[in-house]
Chain A
Amino acid sequence: MIEAFVEGLVLVLQWKAFAFMLLGIGLGFWVGLLPGLGGATTLALMLPFIYTMQPVEAFAFLLGMHAVVATTGDITSVLFGVPGEATSAATILDGYAMTKKGEAGRALGAALASSLVGALVGAFALALAIPVVRPLVLTFGSPELFMLAIVGLAFIASLSAQGGRGMLRGFLAGGLGLFVATVGQDPQAGIARFTLDTLYLWQGLDLVPVLVGIFAIPEIVDLAVRGSSIAGDRPQGRLGRGALEGVKDTFRHFGLTIRCSLIGTFIGIMPGLGGSVAQWIAYGHATQSAKNAQELEGFGAGDVRGVLGPGAANNSKEGGSLIPTVAFGVPGSTSMAILLGGFFLMGLVPGPDMLTTHLVVTFSMVWTIVIANVITVGVCFLFLNRLAALSAVRGQLLIPVILVLVFIGSYTANNHYGDLIVTLVFGAIGYLMVGAGWPRAPFVLGLVLGKIAENYLYISVARYGAAWLARPVVLVLIGVALVVIVYPLVQARRARTRKGAHA
């Protein structure tokens, strides 16, 4: 096992594999930065190029590209408030708020450092999980996956403002997300729901145009109205040293970064939960670390912990989602489904063999994820202060560029004008929500978990009747969901009593 671990590293460091990996990293870098153009699509387009490569070279190329997409996606989210990837939207909430406060450097530093930690944790989880992966994945049947979705939805309680009114708004926004998730043909009876008689809505709303609309458009409007730079007239003095400060933040809140990395890894391992869920649960968890009411209100207004959580989780999930792909030949995400095609091209049949005869190849993948992220984060740090300086550029100069990126990014979802309409509609909804003080995070959580919750609930009931409720893991998860819902109330009460003691 240890031999294979070292041999895997040696394979990746051969000049040819390494060169292909650098090429992949270069591609992934841009794909991540540009909104809309996603990791999965790019993987599909690059697949034909691997025909003539050796397996290790091919995976160094594909994984090198894939591993850095979430890392550079965070940069776009933090700098412009435009999600670079569907998987890096949660970084916007606090990352972009920090940029507006003139702390772009610090936010980027934190996002990158936490991405690196996340990637390392995910890769080591992949290495460590190899012996136990089969029983672990097989424990989670449809009822358990449904309950995981419910635990995810329970995090709405943490993502909402405090007090009865805040909770009500949070859960209503979550309900709206669930409702939007029902658009499209339903998979049980085949009935078209809320499609407004259009073909475009038949397969439901694509996540990218919705996210881009709801997050980017309100910020662009805001920027235009303010008529200043993104960072406004804030002093830019700390810009230069900011990046280092962000790295320090990662270690200041190291426990949180590790926990969010583990959350990401775990969600990555579960096939069928989808890549965009991890970041939101990690964000919800990050808000739980607030020690008092002021801190809790600081989330969404530029708390660095709100950057660290999703930053770590959206990278660690990649290592996690490789696990079911390698061990069962069952992909954990769209990107992995395409990667699976790469396995076949290489003459490898994913399954138990990958953990025995082809163990070296599996470890070479672990190393590729690690090395690719180290290189990317290193390179980003070189440019970081230049990137952060963009937040001091006048809005009138930035807005046209951002708008072009936003609409091209949305359009890549389906190459259909409907993508643009969806972006505008959700842009308007996002603007109204921000204006009226409704939280957007619960809406997105409802949207990404809605379909999962609906399908797995149906399957659980159809397959097991009411008996699914009595499964041990389900009972544990019900307990977890209750704790997640009650926790903010405990947090609030603790804050009150502490205040009382001071008075």
Chain B
Amino acid sequence: MRSALAFAAVCALAVLAPRTVEAQPAPYEGKTVTIVVGYKPGGGYDATARLLARHLPKHIPGSPTIIVQNMPGANSIIGANHVYAVAKPDGLTLGTFNRNLPIAQLLSVRGVKFDMTKFAWIGSASSEATILAIRSDLPYKTFADLLKAKEPVVVGTTGPGANTHDFPLLIKEFLGANLKIVSGYSSSSDIMLAIERKEVDARAGSYSSMARFIDRKLVHPVIRARASEPGIEQLPVDEALAPNPRAKTIMALRSAPEIIGRPYVMPPGTPDQLVRTMREAFAKVVNDKELIAEATKAKMSLEYINGDEALKVMKEVLAQPKDIVDEFAKYIKFGE
């Protein structure tokens, strides 16, 4: 018994002693940070998280180990609920999920337990520009040409809630383009194949996923949403062509989350100092030469949008009056 007490005393001393000497221990030293990804391994959200997990430790004082945990289901609502309500706000959990989750909250989707504005926002690791691209062998070179189309232009989509679907849907509804929307393709690459065999004429989606098909002159972009990327700045923007303020608001609401293309948050109540440390690390990591080299190889481009900006977008999306929300819900469903 006495020896056990002595042992405990020695242990306590051993633990306490260095603390009194070191002025400021790094809070992340020897710790493991988990990035909770709301999808299975293999997709874009997962790839970004794994890239960050490899390079972030260099930029966090104390160089913690960073691991990725996949928590798929319900278009990442399950993962977001976990980070919001279950994970401890001790700075050791990061969450990344579907950029459209604010839309899910806006439309009061059942099962949503989070409030987007209450997360401790780190920011976004990139923005995703959405474009509509049409087959290059069709006679329509620009969006103006497309508006004059007599025959309906067939757009292949994966289904409601995906940008492949919602973006052309609003263009059809509000800008009067003669589009025929055919949904149910199992993935965006399936739509691309349907374009190759001329089953469909056009496809919407992120610019990054279509760039190589544009390079190959299979399709060319004619219109984009608010977020832009080098190479497509000159395209007309859907909101700018809106016939009335209401339509403009609906379109803006749909595209707002795309600016926060790869959202990263910490659980609500995470201490400010830890949030600040993580934000600084994110700001540095996107300029990390090794990360840029890897990202370029994988045809990904990262860009840091800071947490305050992300929070502003969330508030903007969620502050809509009821009549706008009802109108919006007529066209847009949460999904994918």
Residues of A within 8 A of B (CB): 40-41, 43-45, 47-48, 51, 137-139, 141-142, 185-190, 197-200, 202-203, 271-272, 324, 328-331, 334, 337-338, 341, 344-347, 349, 351, 414-416, 418, 451-452, 454-456, 458-459, 462-463
User: How far, in Å, is B33 (CB) from chain A's closest CB?
Assistant: 17
Interface pair A272/B186, CB less than 8 Å apart: yes
Interface pair A338/B335, CB less than 8 Å apart: no
Of B192-200, B224-232, B311-319, the one touching chain A = B192-200
Chain A residue at minimal CB-CB distance from B184: A455
Chain A residue at minimal CB-CB distance from B81: A199
Interface pair A202/B74, CB less than 8 Å apart: yes
Q: Which of B74-96 contact A (CB under 8 A)?
A: 74-75, 77-78, 81
Q: Does B280 contact A (CB under 8 A)?
A: no
Complex: A272 Cα to B185 Cα, angstroms: 9
Complex: A271 Cα to B81 Cα, angstroms: 34
Complex: A334 Cα to B187 Cα, angstroms: 10
> Which residues of B are found within 8 Å of A328, using beta-carbon distances?
192-193, 196
B 226-243 to A, binary, CB cutoff 8 A, 1 in contact else 0: 000000000000000000
User: How far, in Å, is A95 (CB) from chain B's closest CB?
Assistant: 29
Complex: A138 Cα to B195 Cα, angstroms: 10
Complex: A142 Cα to B185 Cα, angstroms: 9
Q: Pick the residue among A40, A44, A458 that contacts B184 (CB under 8 A).
A: A458
> Which residues of A are found within 8 Å of B81, using beta-carbon distances?
199
Interface pair A202/B186, CB less than 8 Å apart: no
Complex: A415 Cα to B186 Cα, angstroms: 23
Q: Does B108 contact A (CB under 8 A)?
A: no
Chain A residue at minimal CB-CB distance from B111: A199
> Can you name 20 extra interface pairs (CB under 8 A) apart from A44-B46, A141-B194, A190-B333?
A44-B42, A47-B50, A48-B50, A48-B54, A139-B197, A141-B199, A188-B184, A190-B159, A200-B74, A202-B73, A202-B74, A272-B186, A329-B189, A331-B189, A337-B42, A351-B212, A415-B72, A416-B78, A451-B186, A458-B183
Interface pair B42/A203, CB less than 8 Å apart: no
Given contacts A187-B183, A338-B42, A455-B186, contact A271 B159 (CB under 8 A): no
Complex: A346 Cα to B184 Cα, angstroms: 32
Interface pair B297/A141, CB less than 8 Å apart: no
Q: Pick the residue among A142, A186, A330 that contacts B192 (CB under 8 A).
A: A330
Q: Does B160 contact A (CB under 8 A)?
A: yes
Interface pair B185/A344, CB less than 8 Å apart: no
Of B156, B183, B189, B294, chain A has the most CB atoms within 10 Å of the CB of: B189
Complex: A323 Cα to B192 Cα, angstroms: 16
B 279-303 to A, binary, CB cutoff 8 A, 1 in contact else 0: 0000000000000001001110000
B 311-336 to A, binary, CB cutoff 8 A, 1 in contact else 0: 00000000000000000000001110
Q: Does B40 contact A (CB under 8 A)?
A: yes
Q: Pick the residue among B183, B184, B197 that contacts A141 (CB under 8 A).
A: B197
Q: Does B47 contact A (CB under 8 A)?
A: yes
Interface pair A414/B72, CB less than 8 Å apart: yes
Interface pair A459/B193, CB less than 8 Å apart: no
Interface pair A347/B194, CB less than 8 Å apart: no
> Which residues of B are found within 8 Å of A139, using beta-carbon distances?
197
Interface pair A137/B73, CB less than 8 Å apart: no
Interface pair A188/B183, CB less than 8 Å apart: yes
Q: Does B158 contact A (CB under 8 A)?
A: yes
Q: Pick the residue among A48, A138, A190, A455 that contacts B161 (CB under 8 A).
A: A190
Residues of B within 8 A of A (CB): 40-42, 46-47, 50, 54, 69-75, 77-78, 81, 110-111, 154, 156, 158-161, 180, 182-187, 189-190, 192-194, 196-197, 199-200, 212, 216, 294, 297-299, 333-335
> Which residues of B are found within 8 Å of A41, using beta-carbon distances?
40-42
User: How far, in Å, is A396 (CB) from chain B's closest CB?
Assistant: 36
Interface pair A190/B335, CB less than 8 Å apart: yes
> Which residues of B are found within 8 Å of A48, using beta-carbon distances?
50, 54
Of B42, B69, B185, chain A has the most CB atoms within 10 Å of the CB of: B42
Complex: A415 Cα to B73 Cα, angstroms: 9
> Which residues of B are found within 8 Å of A197, using beta-carbon distances?
110-111
A-B contact count (CB 8 A): 141
> Which residues of A are found within 8 Å of B70, using beta-carbon distances?
415
Complex: A139 Cα to B197 Cα, angstroms: 8
Interface pair B184/A45, CB less than 8 Å apart: no
Interface pair A416/B73, CB less than 8 Å apart: yes
Interface pair A185/B77, CB less than 8 Å apart: no
> Which residues of B are found within 8 Å of A200, using beta-carbon distances?
73-74, 78
> Which residues of A are found within 8 Å of B334, using beta-carbon distances?
190
Of A349, A351, A415, chain B has the most CB atoms within 10 Å of the CB of: A415
Complex: A347 Cα to B75 Cα, angstroms: 31
Interface pair B42/A324, CB less than 8 Å apart: no
Task: Give me 19 A-to-B residue pairs in the complex whose CB atoms sit less than 8 angstroms apart, sorted by A's number.
Answer: A43-B42, A48-B54, A141-B197, A185-B159, A190-B159, A190-B160, A190-B333, A202-B74, A324-B193, A330-B196, A337-B189, A341-B47, A414-B72, A416-B72, A416-B78, A459-B156, A459-B184, A463-B182, A463-B199
Given contacts A199-B73, A199-B78, A200-B78, contact A138 B186 (CB under 8 A): no
Interface pair B199/A329, CB less than 8 Å apart: no
Interface pair B75/A202, CB less than 8 Å apart: yes
Q: Pick the residue among B158, B199, B212 that contacts A142 (CB under 8 A).
A: B199
Interface pair A344/B184, CB less than 8 Å apart: no
Complex: A328 Cα to B161 Cα, angstroms: 27
Of B78, B158, B333, chain A has the most CB atoms within 10 Å of the CB of: B78
Interface pair B196/A138, CB less than 8 Å apart: yes
Q: Pick the residue among A47, A199, A329, A338 that contacts B77 (CB under 8 A).
A: A199
> Which residues of B are found within 8 Å of A458, using beta-carbon distances?
183-184
Chain B residue at minimal CB-CB distance from A271: B193
> Which residues of A are found within 8 Å of B185, using beta-carbon distances?
455, 459
Chain B residue at minimal CB-CB distance from A464: B199
Interface pair A463/B200, CB less than 8 Å apart: yes
User: How far, in Å, is B336 (CB) from chain A's closest CB?
Assistant: 9
Chain B residue at minimal CB-CB distance from A457: B184
User: How far, in Å, is B318 (CB) from chain A's closest CB?
Assistant: 20
User: How far, in Å, is A329 (CB) from chain B's closest CB?
Assistant: 7
Complex: A205 Cα to B55 Cα, angstroms: 35
Complex: A202 Cα to B161 Cα, angstroms: 13
> Which residues of B are found within 8 Å of A416, using beta-carbon distances?
71-73, 78
> Which residues of B are found within 8 Å of A186, using beta-carbon distances?
159
Interface pair B183/A51, CB less than 8 Å apart: no
